[in-house]
Each structure stands twice: as C-alpha cells, then as structure tokens.
Amino acid sequence: MKKTHFLVSMLALVIFSGCRSNDENDNETPRQQEVHNKTVNVTNHDGRPFSTGNGSGSVAGKFVAGPGGSVLMQGFYWDVPEGGTWWNTVKDKLTAWSDSGIGAVWLPPASKAQNGAYSMGYDPTDYYDFGNFNQNGSIETRFGSRTELEALITKAHTENMQVYADIVINHNSGGQSQANPFTGTNTWTDFSGVASGKFQRSYNDFYKNSYGNNDEGAFGGFPDLCHANPYVQDWLWGRDDSVGKYYKNVMKFDGWRFDYVKGFGPWVVNSWNSNVGGFSVGELWDSNVNTLEWWANNANSSVFDFAAYYKMDEAFDNGNLNALNDDMMWKRNPYKAVTFVANHDTDVIYNKMPAYAYILTHEGYPTIFYRDYEEWLNKERLNNLIWIHNNKATGTTSILYTDNDEYIARRNGYNGNPGLVVYINTSSNWQERWVETNWSSKQIKDFTGGSSWYPTTQGDKWVKIQCPPNSYSIWSLNQ
C-alpha cells in the first residue's frame, strides 16, 4: 500500500491563518465546542465537530470548530522513521495542528504486525498488541509503545481533536503453518499463539473454509479473513472486548479508516458501525462515483473521494479545469465524501496548492497529507486555506465559470455565514471575471491576500474579481 511521492516546491506568500465548515452524517461521538462563551458537547451525526456558525479557529490551544467544520490530518506517510518514535513525533505536533484548525488526526495501523518493529502495520497479527507484548521480534511497533500511543490519544483529546484508527480487517499475516483440510495443504493461518490471547484464529476463520471459497477479494497472498464466520464477527465488533469496542472504549479511538474495503462486502463496515459507532471512512480505490456512492450507502460510512482525486489530477496537472465539472462523490453526498490531494499510497497530483484550494473551499471532509503540510508545501498557505475552510466554506456549491485554465465556484453560505467565491487560475497571467455573489452592495476582499482589491458588489450581487497567475483567490465579505 505504498507509492512514490512527488516533491513539490511552491512560492511562499504572506497570508492569514485559520479554520472552515461542514454539517452532518451518521455515528456520534461527543466533541467540545465553544458557543457564546459556554462549552457544550455537540457533534455532527458523523462524529465530526459541529458548529453553530459563530466559531473561531482555536481557543487557548484547543481546536474549536468554525462554521465550516473540521479538517482531517493524515498523521503519517509510508515508511515513517523506524525506532518507535512516531507516536511521540505526532503527539508533539498536536497543539500546533489544533491551533491551525485541524480537528482530527488519522493514525497508521496501531497493532503488532508480522514485521514487528519494521512494519507499517498493514500485515496485522495481533489486534490487541499495541507495542506491549514481545512478539514478531519486538515489543514496540514501528511507531512506539502502547504507553506512547495512549499518551498521543490523550493529548489529542485534550486539544479537542479526534483520533481515527486505520483498521485492516481484510487480511492477516504472521500466523503459523497448520494443516488445512479445505485446501489439502498447509496454510499460514494458525494465530492461536497471539500474545494477547485475544481473537485467536485458525484455518476456518480464513477463506477457503466451511463458509465458502472466497469473498469479494484477497490481498497480496495474505490469508483472507472470513467475515461470514460468526466467530470472526463476534471478535471484530460483537463482544464487549471485540477489536472495535476495545479500540473505542479502552484505547479511546474516535473513528475508523477501513483499509482495502474492496476485499469484503460493505455490510462488514455497516455492522461495525452499528455495533461500535464513531466516524468511519472507507478506502474504496475506485474512480467510479456510482461505485463510491453505492459503497458509502450500503456501508453507512463516508468514503474517500477518489473520483474527485483523479479529476483534480486531470484539471491541475493536465491543463483542463473543465474536468472539475464532472461528477464526484462530494457532489453526490458531501456528508459521506472525504476529499484528499495525496496520501501514503498515492501521490499523483503535482500541482498541489490549487488542489488544496479546491478541496478546502468545496463540500466534503478535506484531508491534509502529513508530508505536504510538514515538509513539502508552504505551511502558511495551507493554514490560510484551513482558516478559510473552517470559517467561510459553508452552504451548497454553485460552479460559476470554467474553461481550460480558469475555475470559479461559489459556496452559497449557511445559517448566517456569508459563504465565499473561489477563483482558481492555472494560466501564466492575471485573470479577471464578473461573477454573481451572495452579497448585495457589500465590500469584499480576497482572504488569501493574493489580490489587493476591495471591490463592492453591485445591487444585483455582481462584481468583478481577479486572480493571480498560477494561483487562486478566495473572496468573501470584508468583515
């Protein structure tokens, strides 16, 4: 689940810092929100922080949702440093991320995998070993100890941030060899010796077995976990000490990123969500928006918007902003769409800043990739976009204009929040356009600082705005 990353260098601009918006979905987990100087527990149905429309970015180092909602940080990349330091690395960044308006962090698979201290976690052996048992050649995982993981989660909650666990339940690795009557050979399916003593498995818990020959898909030659087996269901989400409930109630994770959901039916995630709760998003690596929508509805879960991802690549790397008119998951159901520009598996978009301007001004739940934020792109520009997202990106979306190198869209505002107009220009020249806004006879400004104009909209809400070359501008009321 690895890929090659493209290093991008961008021009630095002096700009503002900030936050953004969203609304609701399905599974609840309490969050802290400041409302009229009182703190109350309020959530969206998807477990993400809800805002009543008066929110600021961050108060005293704690994340507070703005009217636009929250932003997710992918808190790792492929092959993060070995040596058990990663949990502490992430923990030390949480306050700064909270200050910037990031409301949740997605962590890599946290339990012990076959390659022990060298594994990125996608070859799971013992779901209950978080770096506290001596097995697979180490006590700690690649990322650190259980104590360090728990300290990270506690720190995130202190910052009013949620923590999402990467859940790998399609396949397992690291079992011992055993005779398998369903294959007539030996298979590596004996997990009776897992150090935690929990969720011990044998050949009948993997395909092929008494429940059938296969399910929706195996991965990489690993033993394919059989979700049709009631024993497996019970240990994954049913019993009080099931994997899901242990992660939520003991380890205190708030939500789930389900790995390789093409490998099993959406009913599996639906059952997990019904029994365990919390925010969830599935990695359904498919650009077909019909497939994404079908899976999200049947899984009762959000899904990564791969349709938008590949359209952004076409738009920003191949000189065709008209591609942004095409269908995407966030257009079908923004409450179930998690948008992204890069992740640990795939990083094909080269022209990343306009792509981030796109996802942080449009509907959906936007994700920021760790290396983009901490290493490769201009952090001040990203913080400015996060602020705009959290404070201005509200309401439905109307596309106002597109051609090969210009794209203009309007967020129509919600519950008293004015919304915004975003102008993306991939040409080498300044561009200007007349557009229809949400505002009559009001002064507006570009909240990125790229334009020095302070135009006043006409009585019919039309106004001329501009955009720098190879950049973007984002306009809203000057207030």
Binding-site residues for Ca(2+), in ranges, read 170, 234, 240
Residue with tokens 């005293």: 60
Which residues does 322 contact at the CB level (< 8 Å), separation at least 6?
315, 402, 403, 404
User: Among residues 26, 259, 305, 374, which one is catalytic?
Assistant: 259
Residues 256 and 304: beta-carbon distance below 8 Å: no
Element (H, E) at 459: none
Rounded Cα–Cα distance for residues 397 and 12 (Å): 29
Residue with tokens 């102008």: 423
**Catalytic (active site) residue 326:** no
In 3D space, the residue among 174, 34, 186, 32 whose CA is nearest the CA of residue 116 turns out to be: 174
DSSP string, 316-361: HHTT-GGGGGS--HHHH-GGGEEE-S--SS----SSHHHHHHHHTT
Q: Widest CA span of the chain, in angstroms?
A: 79
CA torsion angle 364 368 372 374 (round to 10)? 150
**Catalytic (active site) residue 380:** no
Rounded Cα–Cα distance for residues 5 and 161 (Å): 27
User: Among residues 28, 129, 215, 283, which one is catalytic?
Assistant: 283
Rounded Cα–Cα distance for residues 94 and 20 (Å): 18
**What one-letter code names the amino acid at 180?**
N
Catalytic residue list: 259, 283
